[in-house]
Structure 1
Amino acid sequence: MTVKPEILKITNTAKSRLFNVEEIELRFSNGAERTYERLANRGHGAVMIIPITENGDVLLIREYAVGIEDYTLTLPKGLIDPGEDEHTAADRELKEEAGFGSNRLHTLKVMTSAPNYMGHAVTAVVAQDLYPCRLEGDEPEEMEVVRWPLDKLEQLVADPDFTEARAIAALYMVKDFLAKQSSKSD
């Protein structure tokens, strides 16, 4: 069995409004010592919502992504607020970003991005049995909602406006989830 390295010291090296950079001094089981840097995990986690309409469309949003300095097509997502669980946060974010609530939520998977450098994780949540409902959020502008037939997933993945790896992975997982759900009801 693999033995985790011993953490010798954690030092905060930089902090901004959104990010906290840490330097981690480690000792591995073979005695080797190394220093790593990471964007530390802050807050209570995040959710990415895969809203599925009754006719099998996925609801996407178009939002400005400052990291790529452009608008991108993606799934609704956001932070889990203090006191919320992932389903409460998913329903709230869906209402804020897409104007829908959900009567049926299912957690698919917790996903990480670049885990060698970041402690951030997002929980993928399927939202079904949707109903119109809008809450005011913290977004600077209303987001465009785009319906996309899930059976045309390959065309969506090929679309140059749809590039977020976590969203792509979530849609392939939800496709499998819905297929299993459908076979149980047959």
Structure 2
Amino acid sequence: MPVKPEVLKVTPTARSRLFQVEELKLRFSNGVERTYERLASRGNGAVMIVAVDAQEHVILIREYAGGIEDYTLTLPKGLIDPGETPHIAADRELKEEAGFGANRLHTLKKMTAAPNYMGHRITVIIARDLYPCKLEGDEPEPMEVIRWPLARLDELVLQDEFTEGRAIAALYMTRHFLAVEGQ
């Protein structure tokens, strides 16, 4: 097992309303020193919700994604507010974005997107035993809600507007989890 490098210095280099860029000066166990840049992890993390209804459909949303300047089909997700657990945040975000609450929540996995450059983590949570419940959220416009049969997951990942790698991974892990749980 490699020895983690020694952190010599962390210097903030840029900050926006959402992000902080840091310079990270490291010394590796062989004496080599390097400087990395990263988007620093702030806040309490985030959740991504794989909501599965009684008919084995997943609940997807269509939302505007500023990073790609287009609408995208994805899973409900959002930040964990101060004082919330991941399960409380997942239930709240599902209500705000898709109009459903969940009686059963299961943490599937904590994931990263680009760990070489970002410290952000997202907790994938499976939500089941859904019921209608809408909360007002911070979205600028209502989200379109789409139900997609989990059995047709392979077709979904080929759709042009379904591109988020974390959502794709979450759905395949969910399908496997539900198959194993059902045995």
Q: Place the TM-score, normalised by the shorter chain, in its bin.
A: over 0.9
Per-residue Cα deviation, 1:73-102 (whole angstroms, up to 9, x for no partner): 000000000000100000000000000000
Pairwise CA RMSD: 0.4
Provide the C-alpha distance between the structure 1 equivalents of 2:18 and 2:86, rounded to a whole number of angstroms: 20
Equivalent residue runs for 1:164-183 within 5 Å: 164-183=164-183
Distance across 2 between alignment mates of 1:169 and 1:24: 29
Matches of 2:166 and 2:36, distance apart in 1: 24
Aligned match of 1:152: 152
SS for the counterpart of 2:12 is strand
Q: Which residue of 2 aligns with 1:76?
A: 76
- How far is the alpha carbon of 1:148 from its aligned partner? 0.2
Matching residue of 1:161: 161
- Tell me by how many angstroms 1:64 deviates: 0.1
Q: Give 4+ residue runs of structure 1 displaced > 4 Å after superposition.
A: none
Distance 1:114 1:102 in 2: 30
State the SS of the aligned residue for 1:158. coil
TM-score by length of 2: 0.99
Matched with 1:116 is 116
> Counterpart of 2:13 in structure 1: which amino acid?
T
Give the equivalent residue in structure 2 for 1:104: 104
| Cα distance in 2, alignment partners of residues 143 and 18 from structure 1 | 22
Identify the residue that residue 87 of structure 1 maps to in structure 2: 87
Shift of 1:53: 0.3
Does the residue aligned with 2:182 lie in a helix, a strand or coil? helix
TM-score norm. by structure 1 comes to 0.98
Rounded Cα–Cα distance in structure 2 between residues aligned with 1:160 and 1:85: 34
Q: Which residue of 2 aligns with 1:52?
A: 52
Question: 2 CA distance for matches of 1:157 and 1:80?
Answer: 27
Answer yes or no: is 1:22 the counterpart of 2:25: no
Letter in 1 for 2:3: V
Give the secondary structure class of the aligned counterpart of 2:157: helix
* Partner amino acid, structure 2, of 1:136: E
* Residues 116-158 of structure 1: CA deviation (Å, up to 9, x unaligned): 0000010000000000000000000010000000000011011
**Identical pairs, percent:** 72
Give 5+ residue unaligned stretches, structure 2: none
What is the DSSP-based 3-state SS (H/G/I as helix, E as strand, rest coil) of the residue aligned with 1:36? strand
Find the aligned partners of 2:144 and 2:112 in 1 and give their Cα distance: 26
Matched ranges for 1:127-142 at <5 A: 127-142=127-142
Shift of 1:181: 1.5
Partner of 2:47, secondary structure, is strand
Distance in structure 2 (CA, Å) of the matches to 1:180 and 1:104: 17
Deviation at 1:182, TM superposition (A): 0.9
Offset at residue 159 of structure 1 (A): 0.4
Q: Hey, what's the Cα distance between the residues in 2 that align with 1:134 and 1:145?
A: 12
